[in-house]
Chain A
Amino acid sequence: MDTNMSDDEERVYVKLISAEGHEFFLDKTVAMISGTIKTMLEGSFREAQDNIIRFPDIAGYILERVVKYLHYKEKYSNAATRIPEFIIEPEYALELLIAAKYLDC
Chain B
Amino acid sequence: MADTRRRFNIKPFRAHVPMDKTVAQQTWGALANAIDEIYNRNASQLSFEELYRNAYNLVLHKYGTLLYEGVTQKLHEHLTATAKRLEEVPDSKLLEEISITWAEHQITMIMVRDILMYMDRTYILKERRRPVYELGLHLFRLDVWEHPNVKERASDLLMMAVANERDGRLTDDRTILKQIVAMLLELGQADSSNVYEIDFETPFLGQTQDFYRVESLSFLSRNTATDYVIKAIRWLEEEKDRANALALPLTTESPLQAMIETELIDRHARTLVDMEMSGFAALLKDDTKLTEMRDMYDLFVRVPSSVDFLREALAERIKADGKALISDQEKGASDPPAFVKGVLTMRERYDKIVDVSFRGEKKTRKRMRESFEDFLNVDARAASCLSVYVDELLRVGLRGATEDQITQELNRVIVIFRYLSDKDVFESFYKQHLAKRLLGGRSVSDDAERAMVSQLKAECGYQFTSKLEGMFNDMRISRDLQDSYKSFKRNQESQQSGETSGNIKAVDIEVDVLTNGYWPSQNVPACTLPPQVQDAIDRYTKYYLEKHTGRKLSWQTSAGAAELKATFGNGLENHHRHELIVSTYQMCILLLFNDYDSLTLGQIRTKTHIPDSELRRHLISLCTPKHRILRKGSRGRGISSDDDIFTFNAEYTSKLKRVRIPLVKESSVSKGGDAASGPASAAASAAVSAVNGSIPLPVEEDRRHLVEAAIVRIMKARKSLGHNDLIAEVTRQLSVRFNPPPQFVKKRIESLIEREYLERTLDDHRVYNYVA
Q: Which residues of A contact B (CB under 8 A)?
A: 35-36, 39-40, 43-49, 53-57, 90-95, 98, 102, 104
Decide yes or no: A91 and B10 within 8 Å by CB, A46-B48, A102-B56 being known contacts.
Answer: yes
Interchain CB contact under 8 A, B47 and A47:
yes
Decide yes or no: A46 and B117 within 8 Å by CB, A90-B10, A91-B8 being known contacts.
Answer: no
- B48-82 near A? 1/0 per residue, CB < 8 Å: 11011100100000000000000000000000000
- B37 to chain A minimum Cβ distance, whole angstroms, is 10
Q: Tally the A-B contacts, defined by beta carbons under 8 Å.
A: 60
A48 CA to B47 CA, complexed, in Å: 9
**With an 8 A cutoff between CB atoms, is B596 at the interface?**
no
Interchain CB contact under 8 A, B47 and A45:
yes
Closest chain A residue to B12, Cβ basis: A94
Interchain CB contact under 8 A, A45 and B13:
no
Q: Which residues of B contact A (CB under 8 A)?
A: 2-3, 8-11, 13, 43-49, 51-53, 56, 111, 114, 117-118, 121
Tell me which of B8, B9, B44 has the highest count of chain A C-beta atoms within 10 A of its own C-beta: B44
Question: A55 to chain B: which residues have CB within 8 Å?
Answer: 49
A95 CA to B11 CA, complexed, in Å: 9
Interchain CB contact under 8 A, B45 and A46:
yes
What are 24 sample pairs from A and B whose C-beta atoms fall under 8 A apart?
A35-B117, A36-B52, A36-B117, A39-B114, A39-B117, A43-B43, A43-B111, A43-B114, A45-B46, A45-B47, A45-B111, A46-B46, A47-B47, A49-B44, A53-B49, A56-B53, A90-B3, A91-B8, A92-B11, A94-B10, A102-B56, A102-B118, A104-B117, A104-B121
Question: B48 to chain A: which residues have CB within 8 Å?
Answer: 39-40, 43, 45-48
A90 CA to B11 CA, complexed, in Å: 10
A14 CA to B606 CA, complexed, in Å: 138
Question: B3 to chain A: which residues have CB within 8 Å?
Answer: 90
Tell me which of A39, A45, A93 has the highest count of chain B C-beta atoms within 10 A of its own C-beta: A45
Interchain CB contact under 8 A, A40 and B121:
no
Question: B56 to chain A: which residues have CB within 8 Å?
Answer: 102
Top 4 nearest A-B pairs (CB, nearest first) are: A45-B48, A40-B48, A39-B114, A47-B48
- A36 to chain B minimum Cβ distance, whole angstroms, is 7
A82 CA to B14 CA, complexed, in Å: 38
A39 CA to B133 CA, complexed, in Å: 15
Closest chain A residue to B53, Cβ basis: A57
- B30 to chain A minimum Cβ distance, whole angstroms, is 14
A53 CA to B51 CA, complexed, in Å: 12
Question: A47 to chain B: which residues have CB within 8 Å?
Answer: 47-49
Closest chain A residue to B56, Cβ basis: A102
Question: B10 to chain A: which residues have CB within 8 Å?
Answer: 90-91, 93-94
A104 CA to B120 CA, complexed, in Å: 12
Question: A104 to chain B: which residues have CB within 8 Å?
Answer: 117, 121
Question: B44 to chain A: which residues have CB within 8 Å?
Answer: 44-46, 49
